[in-house]
Amino acid sequence: MLGMSSTTTPLPDALAKIVERFKRRTNPKQRYEQLLWYAKKLQEMPEVDKTPENKVPGCVSQVFITANLEDEKVWYQGDSDAQLVKGLVALLIEGLNGLTPEEIVQVSPDFIQEMGLNVSLTPSRANGFYNIFQTMKKKALGFQLGMASD
């Protein structure tokens, strides 16, 4: 058991806080309410950014994610036409915004299980959550590679 924890990089603070928040909500209804709360907090995404190249693949609902690099930190924006999925987008943005590409690339998707959301969500939604996270990671990796080639 001990060997496992040493290999995973600790979660970034903001994401760790979110994971804790969900772990405290033991029933699925509370987790849904928490997701809807995040969805309400999400900043409006400009309509012009809702393009095919910003669409997250493999999601049942429409999900869009953009990423910008400012001062070597990544800033995401996102939206979804489904409220629960919008909540997932919002919590990932809150958890990953303002980190360096390296920090984002190092985050392991294990936290998705840890939050217990995979139990509360339908398989397609849980899979969508994973896809959104992977898309955000890919964008961060793109910046990381781009910075390396400068």
Q: Residues 75-93: pLDDT tens digits? A: 999 999 999 999 999 999 9
Determine the Cα–Cα distance for residues 18 and 30; give it in Å rounded to an integer.
14
Fold entry, domain 9-149: Sufe protein. Chain: A (3.90.1010)
- Asked if 59 is an active-site residue, the reply is yes
Confidence band of 19 (pLDDT split at 50, 70, 90): very high
Beta-ladder partners of 135: none
pTM of the model: 0.90
Closest CA to 102 of 68, 141, 69: 141
Do 136 and 92 touch, CB atoms closer than 8 A?
Answer: yes
Give the CA radius of gyration of the chain: 15
Helix (H) or strand (E) holding 85: helix 83-96
Q: What is the mean pLDDT of residues 112-128?
A: 87
Per-residue confidence (pLDDT) for residue 47, from 0 to 100: 96
Strands (E) located in 53-113: 63-70, 73-80
Q: What are phi and psi of 83, to 5 degrees?
A: -60, -45
Residue 4, pLDDT > 70, answer: no
Determine the Cα–Cα distance for residues 52 and 122; give it in Å rounded to an integer.
25
Return left, alpha or beta for 116; rule: phi > 0 is left, psi -120 to 50 is alpha, else beta: left
Q: What is the DSSP letter of 62?
A: -
Q: Which of 45, 56, 59, 136 is catalytic?
A: 59
Do 94 and 14 touch, CB atoms closer than 8 A?
Answer: yes
